[in-house]
Structure formats: structure tokens, C-alpha cells
Amino acid sequence: MKIQNKITGAVRPCALKLAGAVLLSCSLLVFDHAAANATSISGDSLTILRMRENTRDDQLFPLYEYLNLSASDTGSQGTISVQLGGWGRIDLGDRSSQRRSDGDIQYGFLSYRANKNNLQFNAGRQWIVEGVATERLDGLYLRTDLAAGFTAATFVGTPVTTDPNFEGGELMYGGRIAHTLPKYYSIGLSALRNESDAEGLREEEGVDVWLHPIPQLDISGRSSYNSLSNGWAEHAYTLSVTPMDALRLSASMQRISYRDYFYHVTTSALSLTNGILDPNEELWNVGGSVGFMPTKNINVALEYNRYEYEIAGNADYYGVTASFTTPTALTAGASFHRMDGDTGPLRYNQYRAWATQKFGPADLTLDFFDVDFDSSITGRTNTYSLAAAAGYNFNRSLRVAADVDYQRSTDFDNELRGLVKLSYAFGFGKEGQ
Amino acid sequence: MKKISLMVLMGAMLSFLYACANTNSIARVHPEEVTGLPRCAECHTDNWTALNHQAQDFYLKHKFYAAQQRAACSTCHKESFCVDCHAHKEEIKPNDKYKERPELNLPHRGDYLSRHRIDGRINPASCVKCHGRENNERCKTCHR
């Protein structure tokens, strides 16, 4: 087996520059057009001030700003829009850190969606989800319906990496072809290739299914094959049966081959090259759940999961969750889960209780979470957190909220954290949430 | 020359198939405002009935639905909704950002920083979808 070593060196984001240039020039065109015939311009701002301590007892006051903007113009043939979102942070307390400020453009793309054939074209930084591809790319994306129930999607670009010392490849491209009979099924074939200097870093093919031959039955899942390591990376399938509105039965199966699934993962905690994950490991996860809604307000779910490892040993995870919701005022719930593993740290009980009550424009939330280990973790067998949050809606657009979070964990005896946030939505026209 | 001919032929064939499709696109914005966790079957009778957000297995299955027909998600959810969790570079856990929404199935509740070394071994493949395959700065703080 060949495990890719981490490749260091300067990133050559040719596709990034190309996509950026396309996005910028098209954005100017759209805004020019929007100014004359705009149907929707909207955005939301989320300003967050966190208060916490680090392990050296330094007081940290990071201030974040999350900003999302959307402008769209709908014509007789379709809608053209620009979507942009990102965040920035500055530390108000710790002035010693070299990384006192940071930020990221999470997405920024120009999009065209036609009224016919589900034709969509995106250019820019975007989240691609098509069959085997679950990638953030700086690039281009095209999707459309074809004749006789077929659909096609394709994408090309540069993978977005968050650290310039690690390459995620210079070029990624792929696509998906599917056939759909809306009442019964959708079956897709997909592939992607990620390369650097024409050398393949990732090469995956897959099949995905969504079967619902009768309304009460829903089967979905996918399998992906790694062509570079010549092995199946993942099989993941779920089956849901809804014999009546109030009852839902579900079964799931997942099989992961670490050697094939984590091939060329450069995220340090998940890389096969740093000794944390054993490339020979294989995971089987099978489970099931029963969801019961005796009334519209009450939801009870029983679940069971079994994790089987070739090397690390097995674990069972099972429990029950119950929740109660009224349409306008109260949401409350409680859960108990048991993790029963082969090793000490993997044997614990997990308890949770939460409630949110609305009082007109105000709301109050309490959330308690407790983990009771069978054996001590760094000298402690019980860890818990208690969070209290309160919010006030001045109107549909402006909201202020604050929360405090007390934790007693394996790392902290008493940790108190706070957060204050101001959210503001603006614009006109109709958009999603 | 052979490659160009093949590409031209494929382009012509795809154009023909596109022209013959003649389907109506999924609405870009849901015509009715939806609040809370919707049960799509309350209004829909077609395949969208499967998208019951209150179902106990919806969180597990949403990746399959999104990978097949993301336009359906986009009728209600903006891009920023996905990015709240699926962000390679993010410093605030979703459940810290939305403490007032405890009913949402947001992972990493409580003190996950100390618990992740235990839970992480349960199914590390589940980390990839949000934390990314490419190097994540938060992970690198400790896992160098």
C-alpha cells in the first residue's frame, strides 16, 4: 500500500485565481444589473464576544464577526445571484499571541439557476456535494437535468486548504451522472480525481442510491472505491420504514477501511502517517433505531449502534431520547445513552436534559450534559456542563443573546465560559434561512 | 484530433439531452416560510415526504439526500446554514454558537475538547465531513 506523505511547498492556486477573476468580473456585472432590476438583496451579521480561560489561566476575549451576503435577480429564464460569507476574529484580551486575529472566506460564488431543467452554474468558492465528492473548492460547478430522467453534474477547481504548508492538490475535478424516477428511486454514479503535477493524490468512484419504492420505505446510501489504493473506502446505507405516521423504524450499516478512506488525508489528527490511525484498521458500524411520536408534541427515540473494529476492539452505544415540543412556547427533552466498549475510557453513561421556554420576545434555555465514566480519566470519573442562555428579539431582524457555560471536565476543575451575541438580518426580497 | 472530435460529439449529445429534458426546476426559495424542524409530509405527498427533519435518523441520512439533490435543501437553507458545521476553518462549535437551540442534533456538546480523544476513536471517518480532509488548523494546534 502506498500512503501519501505530506507534501510541503507553496500552493499554486491557478484555479483559485481563475475562479476569483471569474467571480469578480461576474459580480460586477450582477451588481450592475441588480442595481437596475434587483429582486432580493439580503444579509445577516452575527457578532460574537466569547469570554473564557485557556489552560495557562489567560483571560481570552475573542470577538468574532460572521457576515453573510446574498444578492439575486430573477428574470424570466432564471435567477442569477452572488453569495458571500466569511468570518473574522480579533482577540481583545490576549495581545501576546501571534495569531491575534484571523478569518476566513467560507464561501463566495456567483450562481445561475435556470427555471428549467434544474440547470445550475456556480463559479467561486463553494461546497460541492455530489456523490463521492464532499469538498470545498475554488472553482466551477455545473448541474442539469437531461432527457429521460437522467441528471449530470460536473465540477473543477482547487481544493480549499486552510494551511499553506500542506497541499490538498492543485486540481480537483469530477462529476456525477444519475437516473431518477421521482416516485421510486434515484441512482447515481460519481467520480473525482485530485492531483498535483498530474500525479493522482485521490481518485475515487462511487455509487449512491435513494430508493423509495413505496412511501413507507426509504433506503439511502453510497459506496465509494479508492482507485489509488484499490479498495472500497466506504459502504454506508440506511433503511427507514414508516408503517404509520407515529412510528419510524431505522437500520443502518457502515463499513470503513482506514487504508482506503483516509488515503491522503492531511488533517493531522486523521492522517495515516502520524501514528494515530492504524491503516490496517477496519470499522463495521451497524445500528438501528425506533422513533415513536404518540402525539404531535412528543417524540421518543430508542437507538442502538455497534462498532466493530479489527484491531481496536468493539463498542456498543445505545440509549433513549425523549422530547416534548409545543408550537410556540416550550421545547424540552432528556436523554440517556450508554457507551459499552472494550477499553476503560469507552465505558460511560451519558445523560442530558434541556429546555427552552419562550416568554413573548424573550427566551430562556437550560442545557445539562453529564458523562459518568466507569473508570477515571485523569483522576475524574464524572464530568458535566451546565449551560444557561437567554435571548431577546427586538424584532424579526435584531436579536441579542447571551449564555454562560459551567464545566467540570477531565481538563478543568471549574471552567466558566460566556458568550454574548448580536444578530442582525437585513435586506429585502425572499431568501432562505 | 480524435479527442476534440469526441468532446464535440459529447457536447452535442449533452446539448440534445438537455434540450429534451424540459423539467421544471425546484423552487429556488420555498414558497411558504418554514420554521422549526419541519415534517415535510405534512404538506408534500411525493418523494420529499422522506425529508422529515424530526425523524430520529434524519441527521444520519441528510448527507445522502444532500449528495443527491442539494437543490431541495437550498429551497429553505442558505449556503451559510451548511457552513455552520461543514467548515474546514471554524473556531466556534455549532452548539456553542446556538446554545438556545438545544433541540438541534449538533455534535460535541459539553466539554468535547477532553472527550474527543475518547469519542474520536469510535468513528473518525465521521470527523472528515466537517473538519475536512485537508489540514485543519484547529487539529494542528495539538496534533502536529
Listed by number, the residues of chain A in 183-242 with a beta carbon closer than 8 Å to a beta carbon of chain B are: 183, 186, 188, 208, 210, 212, 215, 218, 220-222, 234, 238, 240
Q: Which of A285-289, A326-330, A340-344, A429-433 has the highest mean pLDDT?
A: A285-289
Closest CA to A387 of B66, B117, B35, B101: B101
Lowest mean pLDDT among A114-123, A297-306, B97-106: B97-106
Entry pTM: 0.87
Domain with A215 in it: 117-243
A80 with A30: CB under 8 angstroms?
Answer: yes
DSSP character at residue B44: -
Contacts of B75 in chain A (CB under 8 A): 432
Listed by number, the residues of chain B in 57-86 with a beta carbon closer than 8 Å to a beta carbon of chain A are: 57, 60-61, 63-71, 74-83, 86
User: Environment class of residue A118 by beta-carbon count within 10 Å: exposed (0-12), middle (13-18) or buried (19+)?
Assistant: buried
Identify which of B21, B47, B87 has the shortest CB distance to residue A106.
Answer: B87
User: Environment class of residue A132 by beta-carbon count within 10 Å: exposed (0-12), middle (13-18) or buried (19+)?
Assistant: buried
Mutate to test the interface with A, among B20, B58, B79 (most CBs of A within 10 A): B79
Q: How confident is the model at residue B37 (pLDDT cuts 50, 70, 90)?
A: confident
Helix, strand and coil in chain B, % to nearest 5 = 50, 0, 45
Separation of alpha carbons A13 and B133, rounded Å: 18
For chain B, count helices (H), then strands (E).
8, 0
Residue of B nearest to A305 (CA): B122
Mean pLDDT of A299-319: 91
Q: Which residue has the cell 427533552?
A: A333
Per domain, the residue ranges of chain B are: 39-76
Q: Is residue A264 part of a domain?
A: no
Residue B115 confidence (pLDDT)? 75
Separation of alpha carbons A326 and A280, rounded Å: 49
Q: How confident is the model at residue B48 (pLDDT cuts 50, 70, 90)?
A: confident
Q: Is residue A177 part of a domain?
A: yes
Contact A301 B56 (CB under 8 A): yes
Mean pLDDT of B103-114: 79
Q: Is residue A362 part of a domain?
A: no
Record the cell numbers describing residue A366, joined without a space.
Answer: 437550560
Separation of alpha carbons A160 and B87, rounded Å: 10
Separation of alpha carbons B27 and A42, rounded Å: 18
Going by their DSSP bridges, the two strands A62-74 and A398-408 should be labelled as unpaired
The total domain count for chain A is: 1
- pLDDT 10s digits, A68-124: 999 999 888 899 999 999 999 998 876 666 678 889 999 999 999 999 999 999 999
Q: Is residue A359 part of a domain?
A: no
Separation of alpha carbons A350 and A230, rounded Å: 39
Identify which of B96, B102, B134 has the shortest CB distance to residue A161.
Answer: B134
